[in-house]
Structure 1
């Protein structure tokens, strides 16, 4: 029997409860002086990395979380395109209805219409925000249903000829600054027609508003890697500018405007095309594409997750002269060139998976296996600001799980890395995971910290 097993009765409980790297042992001090021990790291455990499919549908229309506070899970539409030779092309399109807003037009006769402007308020931008971004506005052929949920796989027919098109340099601004906007001025005839329908009672609610406008689709013809989120909560809509005049003199008494928002019914469509890439082989949830086929990398992105396997960990034996496992960390260093490379990566969570690459449960956290209050074994992106080169990582504490694998106490299941969050902004973000064949600054490692005698 190996040394590790001979001393297991004395040390395993203490070692598995100790997750720090200091090597301090609180149990067994009456037998062995802790000053005679130190912590040594070992990172030679084989790690296999592959890309698998994430569930292909999720709700992208606003989900009401709290009616009393008017809080929604997501309040944005995502418009853009992303092309990668390894993962294919992602296209996102936004669709929306126009909401009715209270107005004085039926009861007021001394109103003059000035203009009608379609406003798109930036929420965020992802990718290349330094080059031109084209956006087209199309009219829907039929209004969206206000009583159903829409998914990333949903679509809505729209006229092929755009109402408007513009080319801009994305400028989302920095909170708490009021978001900047892309503005499309409509024709005077369209402004007058809209005002007339409001003034004569043709438009009096959302139903009649849908009959008049039907809604809009927002698409981009741009081929660059840029995704823009547009806010639908108070910063986007149709704004009608007008002024009231003094009857008899035509002197302007008051200039005002009313926004008819896009907040009620909207959604984002995601279109993934992996044709001609290694990931085209991902046809079902049981499929996995090895990192060896994708330039020693795997991916966490819209529709994609990273699978991690430890094929030989059950054969691992604590080397002679080591008392046991002190802690274990799964360290993932993303393939990233600069801090502005696709902006800050999202938080990630790690789950136990099965043969169908489904998420079963979070990987136990730390030595105790007690998950944080969030319920996930999660990690945020971190980098060392003191280093001249980009030294960055995600670090997951998997001490209890690794210990149980080594001892054969739990099945050797695949682990699944995925984004933590279901909002569109998180879905738009991408992480490229390097395997063990990548340079040392971009690879994944299972680091075991072993207690050794001096």
Structure 2
């Protein structure tokens, strides 16, 4: 008996390597059977799949992200999402000659140039943005997350109104391809520009300058609820600069270049009142797909993720007599349909998250961590994290991800069946490296009807083999 089980297991192991997709799964691999071993190959997509939307917003690192966001979008489904950016800046170099600055003349202006490469929402509407002075300084011992706010003076020191048009034009040279920057220019005069000039004359290090000025807050103008977009700026771009214009004691026009330091981040907050997601207010709050119109949601920046559970998987190997059958997963895929009306145009599809990773969950509906890093499933035959692959119109507007190894491990209790989380971001191997979860507000709406007869529902598609 033991010999027979051993042979069956070996056949199943070999069989899993030779499996490829086939229209008739019952005909797969029958030639591999050994005498005395019966292999049955089956297919199912009726396993129970539960789905819910979870709010996870307290651990999105924003400090030092390549992109920061400013703006406001109002959506009947996701509510109002507001993004603000807080940033410290300092001179590229400090004047060595005290006579080179005449503080008494005051500054002519402080010109801020912001390079931006991202816009989400209705870019046909103008966005009004204000610049404020921070009233608190950045701290060395603080890790800044996107749900944290900083205080700033309510009176703006500058403002601009513009229609966001992020550049998608590239220039090729002999050895490189460069994006042509699109700059947003903000001119600041008056008291704040003068204070920057005084700090420049009175300080000699980045730290002492920052302690005097604190930094800037870039925020959407108050009362501008009709704004329809959020834009993403590049703080470390060579085209993002601050230039101070002033006069020397000899009345010579001078300029000093300033740059954002490595201390900056964006703050994102969402108001979902009067939406089906109104109950998602505190970190860890959950709403089932049944309570949200048979849908679940993803939104980067705002912290909306989808959790998927396979509650009855432990019964999959059970036989009618109460025993357990030897079973191998040949291929397992999650099929995740999107609400068709939300992706039917090319513009709609561009609203989808650029990447959605598949990570393991905990029993408390949080992201499982491994040495502090999200425990991501690995793509089959790869060391890269598993991500959802989007199939457009020809594929039925669905996401697909192969989870064969994960399923095999679940069936033999080599992994805890706490469910999976669809995370609208890449997964970083470093605890302190911000992912694009902090850099976009892209979203997706998933068809998650839990009725087994529903035409569009999340499916676990399984090809598996049994040995008797």
Q: Is the 8 A contact 2:72 2:80 kept in 1?
A: yes
State TM-score, norm by structure 2.
0.73
Aligned to 2:179, which of 170, 177, 180? 177
The CA distance in 1 between the partners of 2:180 and 2:56, in whole Å, is 35
Aligned to 2:432: none
Report the alpha carbon displacement of residue 183 of structure 1 after superposing the two structures with TM: 1.2
Q: Is the 8 A contact 2:120 2:351 kept in 1?
A: yes
Aligned to 2:347, which of 329, 337, 340? 340
Report the alpha carbon displacement of residue 75 of structure 1 after superposing the two structures with TM: 3.1
**Matched ranges for 1:36-435 at <5 A:** 42-62=44-64, 74-104=65-95, 106=97, 115-145=109-139, 148-174=142-168, 176-187=178-189, 194-195=196-197, 198=200, 201-210=201-210, 212-221=212-221, 222-223=224-225, 224-233=227-236, 234-241=238-245, 257-282=255-280, 287-301=285-299, 302-316=302-316, 325-335=329-339, 336-341=343-348, 342-360=350-368, 361-363=375-377, 366=380, 372-374=382-384, 376=385, 378-384=386-392, 387=394, 391-403=396-408, 405=410, 412-419=417-424, 420-421=426-427, 422-423=435-436, 426=439, 428-435=441-448
Q: Is the 8 A contact 1:328 1:448 kept in 2?
A: yes
Report the alpha carbon displacement of residue 48 of structure 1 after superposing the two structures with TM: 1.4
Q: Is the 8 A contact 1:100 1:204 kept in 2?
A: no
Residues 1:193 and 1:280: Cα distance change in structure 2 (over 3 Å): closer
The CA distance in 1 between the partners of 2:199 and 2:85, in whole Å, is 26
The CA distance in 2 between the partners of 1:183 and 1:147, in whole Å, is 33
Residues 1:197 and 1:381: Cα distance change in structure 2 (over 3 Å): same
Q: Is the 8 A contact 1:15 1:325 kept in 2?
A: no
Residues 1:345 and 1:149: Cα distance change in structure 2 (over 3 Å): closer
| 1:304-323 CA-partner distances (Å, limit 9, x unpaired) | 2211122344445799xxx9
Name the stretch that deviates more: 129-138 or 142-151. 142-151
| 1:42-92 CA-partner distances (Å, limit 9, x unpaired) | 422222111123251333222xxxxxxxxxxx2332212244444443322
Secondary structure of 2:160's aligned partner:
strand
Report the alpha carbon displacement of residue 219 of structure 1 after superposing the two structures with TM: 0.9
Measured on the aligned residues, the alpha-carbon RMSD in Å equals 4.2
Q: Is the 8 A contact 1:78 1:424 kept in 2?
A: no
Q: Is the 8 A contact 1:131 1:169 kept in 2?
A: yes
Aligned to 2:458: 444
| 1:124-159 CA-partner distances (Å, limit 9, x unpaired) | 222332321111111222333356432223222212
Aligned to 2:173: none
Unpaired segments ≥5 residues, structure 2: 171-177, 320-326, 369-374, 428-434
State TM-score, norm by structure 1.
0.75
Report the alpha carbon displacement of residue 425 of structure 1 after superposing the two structures with TM: 5.2
Residues 1:401 and 1:184: Cα distance change in structure 2 (over 3 Å): closer
